[in-house]
Structure 1
């Protein structure tokens, strides 16, 4: 058993070396794109869940896991939005991202554009998080046909939109230590 496991591990390591080499340039390009959002190397403290989501979204983007970016970034946005509503004692529904966004909109907590971007991301995310009918307008299969783009390109644009929106929330909600 150990010999078979060691042999499998050796073959997998060789395959990973080839895979890493093939994707290195794409990952470097994604790191360059992502670098505009990186903060100076100061210590940032906060709740572990949102900070972990922020890092997870970044790593997923670099590695081209665009659906994971969409899911983790919107989770970060939802947690951050609800936390801001709570910190400022803003009254209103916040059980879902849609309700929290509407509460923030009524309170004029963030810009109209940022809250519209949040709504867009929620709608794009929902078919991945909740089963939708095959012909739903936000399903990837519908969106790539309407946009006449490869599904991977649509997902990459979605991920970039999610990263941009996530980092806007991050920068707007940073508080001095």
Structure 2
């Protein structure tokens, strides 16, 4: 369970960083889902593609823990265990480690100096 919590919390941080960087929404609009925020951030060139790619992949792994999925959804842990023939703890450990690395990469990126104007 701690691997799931690590994945969820690390991705929550990443999602907040991305949503904080995209243009603000009108007061009557909700924050966009992570996939939409990633697309907006990519279009605006706000983060390197490798960070956004990592966020997109890990959000796919996180979503079945946050939103109900059908049994045949390929992104559920059970389906990933079956397709990879790997123990769920091993998959969880890798997801958690990747999520922590990504979270710290976004954290470090947020402290970079903005580019100088031409």
TM-score bin (small chain):
0.7 to 0.9
Considering Cα pairs closer than 8 Å and 6+ residues apart, tell me whether 1 or 2 has the greater RCO: 2
Matches of 2:100 and 2:60, distance apart in 1: 16
Cα deviation digits, residues 43-95 of structure 1 (max 9, x gap): xxxxxxxxxxxxxxxxxxxxx71000111011100111111224xx6xxx951
Matched, 1:67 2:4: yes
| Contact preservation (8 Å) 1:82, 1:100 | yes
Matches of 1:162 and 1:67, distance apart in 2: 10
Q: Of residues 94, 102, 105 in structure 2, which corresponds to 1:165?
A: 102
Mapping 1:21-170, distance limit 5 Å: 65-86=2-23, 95-170=32-107
| Superposed displacement of residue 145, structure 1 | 1.3
Superposition RMSD on alpha carbons, in Å?
Answer: 2.0
| Superposed displacement of residue 174, structure 1 | 2.1
Please report the TM-score for the alignment, with normalisation by the length of structure 2.
0.85
Paired residue total: 109
- Structure 2, unaligned runs of 5 or more: 25-29, 114-118
Matches of 2:9 and 2:49, distance apart in 1: 22
Matches of 1:171 and 1:83, distance apart in 2: 15
Structure 1 match to 2:27: none
- Structure 1, unaligned runs of 5 or more: 1-63
Please report the TM-score for the alignment, with normalisation by the length of structure 1.
0.57
Could you say which structure has the higher helix fraction?
A: 1
Distance 1:123 1:110, change over 3 A: same
Runs of 4+ in 1 over 3 A off after TM superposition: none
| Superposed displacement of residue 155, structure 1 | 0.4
